[in-house]
Chains A and B, each alone.
Chain A
Amino acid sequence: KAGVTQTPRYLIKTRGQQVTLSCSPISGHRSVSWYQQTPGQGLQFLFEYFSETQRNKGNFPGRFSGRQFSNSRSEMNVSTLELGDSALYLCASSFRESSTDTQYFGPGTRLTVL
Protein backbone atom coordinates (compact mmCIF):
# COMPACT_ATOMS: atom_id res chain seq x y z
CA LYS A 1 0.00 0.00 0.00
CA ALA A 2 1.47 3.38 -0.92
CA GLY A 3 2.17 5.77 1.93
CA VAL A 4 1.16 9.36 2.38
CA THR A 5 2.49 11.52 -0.44
CA GLN A 6 3.03 15.25 -0.38
CA THR A 7 3.77 17.59 -3.24
CA PRO A 8 5.85 19.51 -3.85
CA ARG A 9 8.69 18.36 -1.61
CA TYR A 10 10.45 21.72 -1.69
CA LEU A 11 9.16 25.20 -2.35
CA ILE A 12 10.72 28.64 -2.32
CA LYS A 13 8.47 31.70 -2.20
CA THR A 14 8.83 35.37 -1.38
CA ARG A 15 7.03 37.39 1.25
CA GLY A 16 3.51 38.34 0.31
CA GLN A 17 2.98 35.44 -2.07
CA GLN A 18 0.57 32.61 -1.48
CA VAL A 19 1.24 28.88 -1.64
CA THR A 20 -0.78 25.68 -1.97
CA LEU A 21 0.50 22.35 -0.67
CA SER A 22 -1.03 19.00 -1.54
CA CYS A 23 -1.39 15.76 0.40
CA SER A 24 -2.63 12.39 -0.80
CA PRO A 25 -3.50 10.07 2.10
CA ILE A 26 -3.05 6.32 2.26
CA SER A 27 -5.73 4.64 0.19
CA GLY A 28 -8.87 4.20 2.27
CA HIS A 29 -7.90 6.77 4.88
CA ARG A 30 -10.48 9.49 5.35
CA SER A 31 -8.77 11.76 7.83
CA VAL A 32 -5.98 14.18 6.93
CA SER A 33 -4.19 16.38 9.45
CA TRP A 34 -1.64 19.09 8.81
CA TYR A 35 1.27 20.09 11.03
CA GLN A 36 3.91 22.78 10.92
CA GLN A 37 7.39 21.87 12.13
CA THR A 38 9.97 24.54 12.94
CA PRO A 39 13.18 24.39 14.99
CA GLY A 40 11.83 26.93 17.45
CA GLN A 41 8.23 25.78 17.93
CA GLY A 42 8.53 22.07 17.16
CA LEU A 43 5.50 20.27 15.78
CA GLN A 44 2.31 22.27 15.89
CA PHE A 45 -1.12 21.12 14.79
CA LEU A 46 -2.73 23.18 12.02
CA PHE A 47 -6.04 21.47 11.22
CA GLU A 48 -7.72 18.16 10.54
CA TYR A 49 -10.18 17.20 7.84
CA PHE A 50 -12.43 14.18 7.89
CA SER A 51 -14.85 13.36 5.09
CA GLU A 52 -14.39 16.84 3.58
CA THR A 53 -15.22 18.63 6.85
CA GLN A 54 -12.77 20.50 9.05
CA ARG A 55 -12.94 18.81 12.44
CA ASN A 56 -10.30 20.66 14.44
CA LYS A 57 -8.17 23.74 14.03
CA GLY A 58 -4.98 24.73 15.77
CA ASN A 59 -3.96 28.18 16.89
CA PHE A 60 -2.88 29.66 13.56
CA PRO A 61 -4.00 32.87 11.84
CA GLY A 62 -6.65 32.87 9.14
CA ARG A 63 -3.95 33.05 6.48
CA PHE A 64 -3.68 29.31 6.91
CA SER A 65 -6.57 27.42 5.35
CA GLY A 66 -7.26 24.01 3.93
CA ARG A 67 -9.77 21.79 2.29
CA GLN A 68 -10.39 18.15 1.57
CA PHE A 69 -11.79 16.65 -1.58
CA SER A 70 -14.19 13.75 -2.01
CA ASN A 71 -11.26 11.41 -2.72
CA SER A 72 -9.76 12.42 0.66
CA ARG A 73 -6.89 14.33 -0.92
CA SER A 74 -6.24 17.56 0.93
CA GLU A 75 -4.73 20.91 0.14
CA MET A 76 -3.37 23.53 2.47
CA ASN A 77 -3.10 27.17 1.49
CA VAL A 78 -1.08 29.93 3.07
CA SER A 79 -1.74 33.45 1.88
CA THR A 80 0.38 36.59 2.32
CA LEU A 81 3.46 34.59 3.24
CA GLU A 82 5.71 35.81 6.05
CA LEU A 83 9.32 34.89 6.77
CA GLY A 84 8.15 33.01 9.85
CA ASP A 85 6.10 30.66 7.69
CA SER A 86 9.31 28.94 6.59
CA ALA A 87 8.92 25.42 7.91
CA LEU A 88 8.44 21.76 7.14
CA TYR A 89 4.74 21.13 6.61
CA LEU A 90 3.72 17.60 7.41
CA CYS A 91 0.55 15.85 6.46
CA ALA A 92 -0.73 12.76 8.25
CA SER A 93 -3.58 10.42 7.42
CA SER A 94 -5.65 7.95 9.38
CA PHE A 95 -8.62 5.74 8.62
CA ARG A 96 -10.82 7.25 11.30
CA GLU A 97 -10.60 10.67 12.93
CA SER A 98 -7.13 11.15 14.37
CA SER A 99 -8.36 11.20 17.96
CA THR A 100 -9.41 7.56 17.65
CA ASP A 101 -6.85 6.22 15.23
CA THR A 102 -3.14 6.06 14.48
CA GLN A 103 -1.70 8.65 12.13
CA TYR A 104 0.81 7.97 9.37
CA PHE A 105 2.94 10.85 8.20
CA GLY A 106 4.13 11.91 4.77
CA PRO A 107 7.66 13.12 4.01
CA GLY A 108 6.67 16.77 4.25
CA THR A 109 6.95 19.87 2.11
CA ARG A 110 9.79 22.18 3.02
CA LEU A 111 8.70 25.77 2.44
CA THR A 112 11.26 28.55 2.41
CA VAL A 113 10.03 32.13 2.40
CA LEU A 114 12.57 34.74 1.30
Chain B
Amino acid sequence: GEDVEQSLFLSVREGDSSVINCTYTDSSSTYLYWYKQEPGAGLQLLTYIFSNMDMKQDQRLTVLLNKKDKHLSLRIADTQTGDSAIYFCAEKSYGQNFVFGPGTRLSVLP
Protein backbone atom coordinates (compact mmCIF):
# COMPACT_ATOMS: atom_id res chain seq x y z
CA GLY B 1 0.00 0.00 0.00
CA GLU B 2 0.92 3.65 -0.04
CA ASP B 3 3.47 4.88 2.46
CA VAL B 4 4.71 8.32 3.43
CA GLU B 5 7.89 8.76 5.42
CA GLN B 6 9.37 11.71 7.26
CA SER B 7 12.20 12.25 9.69
CA LEU B 8 10.73 12.59 13.16
CA PHE B 9 12.67 15.54 14.57
CA LEU B 10 14.30 18.74 13.37
CA SER B 11 15.88 21.54 15.41
CA VAL B 12 16.85 24.91 13.99
CA ARG B 13 17.88 28.29 15.36
CA GLU B 14 15.49 31.21 15.17
CA GLY B 15 16.06 33.13 11.96
CA ASP B 16 17.54 30.17 10.09
CA SER B 17 15.75 28.26 7.34
CA SER B 18 14.08 24.93 8.11
CA VAL B 19 13.82 22.16 5.55
CA ILE B 20 11.43 19.31 6.29
CA ASN B 21 11.65 16.31 3.99
CA CYS B 22 9.14 13.68 2.97
CA THR B 23 9.21 10.65 0.70
CA TYR B 24 6.22 8.79 -0.68
CA THR B 25 5.72 5.56 -2.56
CA ASP B 26 2.58 6.03 -4.63
CA SER B 27 3.68 7.14 -8.08
CA SER B 28 0.10 8.03 -8.95
CA SER B 29 -0.08 10.61 -6.19
CA THR B 30 -1.92 13.58 -7.54
CA TYR B 31 -1.84 15.99 -4.63
CA LEU B 32 0.81 16.45 -1.96
CA TYR B 33 0.13 18.45 1.18
CA TRP B 34 1.84 19.99 4.15
CA TYR B 35 -0.11 20.38 7.38
CA LYS B 36 0.94 21.97 10.67
CA GLN B 37 -0.26 20.79 14.06
CA GLU B 38 0.36 22.82 17.18
CA PRO B 39 0.02 21.28 20.65
CA GLY B 40 -3.56 20.40 21.49
CA ALA B 41 -4.86 21.55 18.13
CA GLY B 42 -6.08 20.03 14.88
CA LEU B 43 -4.28 20.10 11.56
CA GLN B 44 -3.85 23.38 9.71
CA LEU B 45 -3.40 23.19 5.96
CA LEU B 46 -0.21 25.09 5.09
CA THR B 47 0.12 24.49 1.40
CA TYR B 48 -0.30 21.88 -1.28
CA ILE B 49 1.15 21.13 -4.66
CA PHE B 50 -0.14 19.28 -7.68
CA SER B 51 2.01 16.48 -9.02
CA ASN B 52 2.55 18.31 -12.31
CA MET B 53 4.35 21.15 -10.50
CA ASP B 54 7.97 21.26 -9.35
CA MET B 55 7.83 24.17 -6.97
CA LYS B 56 5.35 26.37 -5.17
CA GLN B 57 6.14 29.43 -3.08
CA ASP B 58 3.83 31.07 -0.59
CA GLN B 59 5.37 33.84 1.51
CA ARG B 60 7.93 32.14 3.81
CA LEU B 61 7.04 28.66 2.56
CA THR B 62 8.59 26.94 -0.44
CA VAL B 63 7.55 23.47 -1.53
CA LEU B 64 9.81 21.47 -3.83
CA LEU B 65 8.69 18.28 -5.54
CA ASN B 66 11.01 15.77 -7.16
CA LYS B 67 8.67 13.32 -8.87
CA LYS B 68 11.45 11.06 -10.07
CA ASP B 69 12.67 10.45 -6.52
CA LYS B 70 9.18 10.82 -4.99
CA HIS B 71 10.59 13.42 -2.64
CA LEU B 72 8.80 16.43 -1.27
CA SER B 73 10.28 19.17 0.89
CA LEU B 74 8.98 22.16 2.79
CA ARG B 75 11.33 25.06 3.37
CA ILE B 76 10.41 27.67 5.98
CA ALA B 77 12.45 30.84 5.62
CA ASP B 78 13.36 32.95 8.66
CA THR B 79 12.00 30.34 11.08
CA GLN B 80 10.35 31.80 14.17
CA THR B 81 9.50 30.29 17.56
CA GLY B 82 5.86 30.29 16.49
CA ASP B 83 6.77 27.79 13.78
CA SER B 84 7.50 25.16 16.43
CA ALA B 85 4.97 22.41 15.74
CA ILE B 86 4.57 19.03 14.11
CA TYR B 87 4.52 19.11 10.32
CA PHE B 88 2.72 16.38 8.40
CA CYS B 89 3.27 15.48 4.81
CA ALA B 90 0.27 13.84 3.11
CA GLU B 91 -0.43 12.45 -0.32
CA LYS B 92 -3.63 11.70 -2.15
CA SER B 93 -4.53 10.10 -5.46
CA TYR B 94 -7.80 10.25 -7.33
CA GLY B 95 -10.32 7.96 -5.71
CA GLN B 96 -8.04 7.23 -2.78
CA ASN B 97 -7.93 8.53 0.75
CA PHE B 98 -5.33 10.73 2.32
CA VAL B 99 -2.17 8.99 3.51
CA PHE B 100 -0.25 10.90 6.15
CA GLY B 101 3.36 10.66 7.22
CA PRO B 102 4.29 10.26 10.89
CA GLY B 103 5.00 13.97 11.27
CA THR B 104 8.22 15.93 11.87
CA ARG B 105 8.50 17.74 15.17
CA LEU B 106 10.18 21.10 14.49
CA SER B 107 11.84 22.78 17.45
CA VAL B 108 12.97 26.36 17.02
CA LEU B 109 15.73 27.37 19.41
CA PRO B 110 16.14 31.03 20.44
Q: In the assembled complex, which residues on chain B have CB atoms less than 8 Å from the CB atom of A4?
A: 42
Q: In the assembled complex, which residues on chain B have CB atoms less than 8 Å from the CB atom of A11?
A: none
Distance (whole angstroms) from the CB of A38 to the closest CB of chain B: 11
In the assembled complex, A112 has its CB within 8 A of some CB on chain B: no
Q: In the assembled complex, which residues on chain A have CB atoms less than 8 Å from the CB atom of B35?
A: 105
Q: Which residue of B lies closest to A108 (CB)?
A: B42
- Contact of B102 (CB < 8 Å), options: A33, A42, A58, A106: A42
**Selected interface stretch from B16-24, B54-62, B90-98:** B90-98
Q: Which residue of A lies closest to B102 (CB)?
A: A42
Contact indicator B41/A107 (Cβ below 8 Å) = yes
Q: In the assembled complex, which residues on chain A have CB atoms less than 8 Å from the CB atom of B93?
A: 99
Q: In the assembled complex, which residues on chain A have CB atoms less than 8 Å from the CB atom of B44?
A: 105
Contact indicator B88/A43 (Cβ below 8 Å) = yes
Task: Given A43-B100, A102-B48, verify A107-B42 contact (CB < 8 Å).
Answer: yes
In the assembled complex, B10 has its CB within 8 A of some CB on chain A: no
Q: Which residue of A lies closest to B88 (CB)?
A: A43
Q: In the assembled complex, which residues on chain A have CB atoms less than 8 Å from the CB atom of B96?
A: 99
Q: Tell me which of B35, B41, B43, B88 has the highest count of chain A C-beta atoms within 10 A of its own C-beta.
A: B43
Contact indicator B97/A106 (Cβ below 8 Å) = no
Could you pull out 7 A-B pairs where Cβ atoms are within 8 angstroms?
A33-B98, A42-B101, A43-B88, A98-B92, A100-B94, A103-B45, A108-B42
Chain B interface (Cβ < 8 Å from any Cβ of A): 31, 33, 35, 41-45, 48, 88, 92-98, 100-103
